[in-house]
C-alpha cells in the first residue's frame, strides 16, 4: 500500500511538473479588447504618432546637408519606427524553445524574449533591441482562479495533424466570469503547457484536469478575449546556450520604485 501511494505521488508529480519534450513550438497568441473594430482603433491610435514622426524623418533623410553621423542615427530611428508600425500590437507569433525544465520564448520578430528557468522559479524579460534583461517579479495574475469547473466533452477536431478533444472551462472569482474552450491533443503529454503556452501566472487546478497539449484556446474574460493557436510543433535538439542570459547584456535591477542598469 505504501509503495503504491509513493508511486502514485511520483506519477502525479511527473504529470504536473515534468517536461521531457525537447524542441520548438510556434504559437499564434492574440488579444482582443472588446470587438474587432475597437481593438483595431486602439492599435491605430497608438501607432499614429509613430507614422507622423516616420514621415518627418524620411523627409529629413533627403537633406543633402545631413552629416554621415546624423544620417546613420536617423536611419536607425526610422528602422525602429517602422518595426513598431509593422508589428501587430495585439497579436504575436511566439517561438517557444523547450529543454528539460527551461523555456525560452522569442517575441515580435526576435526583438524581445522571455527566459523561464527551473520550472518557473526564475523568469527573465529580455530586450534584444536594448540589450538588457530584467528579473520578472510581477505579481501572479489568474484568469480562472484556483479551482475552475472543467468539463471534457465528446467533441473532437483535427488540428496540426493531432486529434483534439474539446474541454470547456468556467470560473467565477470575485464577481469576474471567465469562460474558456480548450482543444486538447491527448497524445502530447510530455510538454508542461503552463509555461509553453504562457499560463505561467495561473495558480489553478486547470493543469491537472486537462491532460495533453491544448492546440487551440479561446478565452473570454469580461470584455477581453484571449486566443492561442499552436501553429507547429517539432521535436529537435535545442542548444543549452538558448537558456543562458547573454553575457554582453545589461541587467535592469529594480530598487524600490526606481530601476538602474547593472553590468552582468
- pTM greater than the 0.85 cutoff: no
| Closest by Cα among 165, 169, 167, 119 to 142 | 169
The distance of Cα 209 from the centroid of its chain, to the nearest Å, equals 22
pLDDT for the residue numbered 47: 79
How do residues 31-79 score in pLDDT, each as one tens digit?
Answer: 877 665 666 677 777 778 888 888 999 999 899 988 989 888 888 888 8
Please check whether residue 40 is in contact with residue 48, taking contact to mean a CB–CB distance below 8 angstroms: no
Please check whether residue 188 is in contact with residue 197, taking contact to mean a CB–CB distance below 8 angstroms: no
Please check whether residue 219 is in contact with residue 180, taking contact to mean a CB–CB distance below 8 angstroms: yes
Q: Can you give the residue ranges of every domain in the chain? A: 36-86
| Closest by Cα among 175, 161, 167, 170 to 230 | 161
What is the secondary structure of 171-228 as a DSSP string?
EEETTEEEEEEEEEETT--SS-HHHHTT-TT--STHHHHS-SEEEEEEEEETTEEEEE
How do residues 203-245 score in pLDDT, each as one tens digit?
Answer: 778 888 998 999 999 998 877 888 899 999 999 999 999 999 9
Whole-Å CA distances, 166 to 29, 185, 221, 239: 19, 9, 19, 34
pLDDT band at 90 (very low <50, low <70, confident <90, very high): low
Amino acid at each position: 500500500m505504501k509503495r503504491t501511494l509513493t508511486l502514485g505521488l511520483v506519477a502525479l508529480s511527473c504529470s504536473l511538473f515534468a517536461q521531457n519534450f525537447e524542441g520548438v513550438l510556434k504559437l499564434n497568441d492574440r488579444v482582443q479588447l472588446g470587438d474587432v473594430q475597437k481593438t483595431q482603433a486602439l492599435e491605430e491610435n497608438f501607432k499614429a504618432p509613430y507614422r507622423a514622426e516616420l514621415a518627418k524623418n524620411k523627409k529629413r533623410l533627403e537633406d543633402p546637408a545631413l552629416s554621415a553621423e546624423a544620417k546613420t542615427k536617423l536611419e536607425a530611428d526610422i528602422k525602429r519606427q517602422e518595426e513598431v508600425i509593422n508589428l501587430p500590437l495585439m497579436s504575436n507569433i511566439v517561438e517557444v524553445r523547450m529543454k528539460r525544465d527551461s523555456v525560452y520564448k522569442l517575441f515580435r520578430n526576435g526583438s524581445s524574449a522571455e527566459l523561464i528557468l527551473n520550472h518557473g522559479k526564475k523568469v527573465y524579460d529580455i530586450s534584444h533591441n536594448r540589450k538588457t534583461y530584467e528579473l520578472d517579479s510581477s505579481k501572479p495574475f489568474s484568469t480562472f482562479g484556483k479551482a475552475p469547473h472543467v468539463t471534457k466533452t465528446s467533441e473532437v477536431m483535427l488540428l496540426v495533424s493531432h486529434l483534439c478533444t474539446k474541454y470547456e472551462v468556467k470560473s467565477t472569482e470575485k464577481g469576474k466570469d471567465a469562460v474558456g474552450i480548450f482543444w486538447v491533443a491527448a497524445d502530447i503529454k510530455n510538454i508542461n503547457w503552463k509555461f509553453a503556452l504562457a499560463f505561467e501566472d495561473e495558480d489553478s487546478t486547470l493543469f491537472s484536469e486537462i491532460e495533453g497539449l491544448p492546440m487551440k484556446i479561446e478565452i473570454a474574460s469580461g470584455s477581453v478575449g484571449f486566443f492561442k493557436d499552436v501553429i507547429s510543433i517539432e521535436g529537435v535538439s535545442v542548444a543549452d546556450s538558448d537558456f543562458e542570459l547573454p553575457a554582453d547584456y545589461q541587467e535592469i535591477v529594480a530598487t524600490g520604485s526606481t530601476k538602474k542598469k547593472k553590468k552582468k
